[in-house]
Amino acid sequence: MAGISFPEEQKQEELVRTKLDSPGAGFDRWWLLVVGVVVTIAILYFTIPDPYGRAVNFVWDGIGVSIGVTVSSFIVTVFVGLMGGLGRLSKNKIIQGIATLYVEVVRGIPLMVQLFFWYFAFPAIIQSFGKQIHYEPFTKYFADPYFTAIMGLTICYGAYMSEIYRAGIQSIGKGQVEAARSLGMSQFEAMRYVILPQAIRVVLPPMGNEFISLLKDSSLVSVVAVADLTRRGREFMAQTATPIETWTIVALMYLVMTILSARIVGWLERITKLQER
């Protein structure tokens, strides 16, 4: 530790940075895979326009929906997870109890069942409640598919994210809080300025993996009337009776998205490792 002087360290850092930024950097088997999958889709599209070309055209708008649902849920999940993670670590027994209950209940129920609950059961509960209190907006409540899908995914993934945050925060040594507290910082200030900035680096890689899982699990929202990639695939198959072609195209499209996401996650990981130096 003592042997490394500062300027050297900086030079190393610059070296790694240029390596990352230079064009063609990291053109490895990951990119080959992406290119391979894209080329496969293109070949199928142009050489066999029916049904492959038609399938691509048909499901195309579903990609936007899948990405939209995934990204919106993920953004909210990042905050829900932070609240849940802090709640799990709270010294207040009530807050801790609520957060723990949330995490345990949600993790114990399959995502598809949760989505069914929010889409079918939840509006029915609101309606009968509305009838009892004679509040008309409630009696006429129906679940909006997109809102329900994003809410369902967020609630489910928020629970997993809570555990990631909790582990990240716990990985920062107790001495850090003590140092911050001994300087007169409040619990909140210590969390805000000392613990979270360090925890975020620990949390980022598993968070990226959650994003990829969320992208894949977003296919489940097709059961609650959201026209995502999977649902568009089902519709196309129903119209054309071409299961092999349909699901080959849908699978390849998910694959492009997940591999690209994994790539971005890996890149983020390296960036934060650099900052850590």
Q: For the CB of residue 5, give the shortest distance to other proteins in the complex, in Å.
A: 8
Q: Are 127 and 141 in contact (CB under 8 A)?
A: yes
Q: How far is the CB of 124 from other proteins (least distance, A)?
A: 46
**Nearest-approach distance from CB 183 to other proteins, in angstroms:** 4
204 vs 252 by CB, closer to other proteins? 204
Which parts of this chain interact with other proteins (CB under 8 A)? 1-2, 4-6, 9, 173, 175-176, 178-186, 189, 193-194, 197-198, 201, 276-277
Instruction: Select from 11, 16, 3, 6 the least CA-distant residue to 272.
Output: 16
Instruction: Please say which residue, 189 or 235, places its beta carbon nearer to other proteins.
Output: 189
The least distance separating other proteins from the CB of residue 8, rounded to whole angstroms, comes to: 10
Name 242's Cβ contacts closer than 8 Å, sequence gap at least 6: 51, 55, 236
Taking the least distance from each CB to other proteins, the nearer of 9 and 61 is: 9
Q: How many CA atoms lie within 13 A of 144 on its CB side?
A: 4
Contacts of 3 (CB under 8 A, 6+ apart): none
Q: Which two tokens stand for residue 33?
A: 């895979």
- Closer to other proteins by Cβ: residue 64 or 197: 197
Exposed e or buried b for every residue in 173-186, given b needs 16+ CB within 10 A?
Answer: eeeebeebeeeebe
Residue entry with tokens 């598993």: 206
Closest distance between other proteins and the C-beta of residue 79, in Å?
Answer: 22
User: Of the two residues 23 and 175, which places its CB atom closer to other proteins in the complex?
Assistant: 175
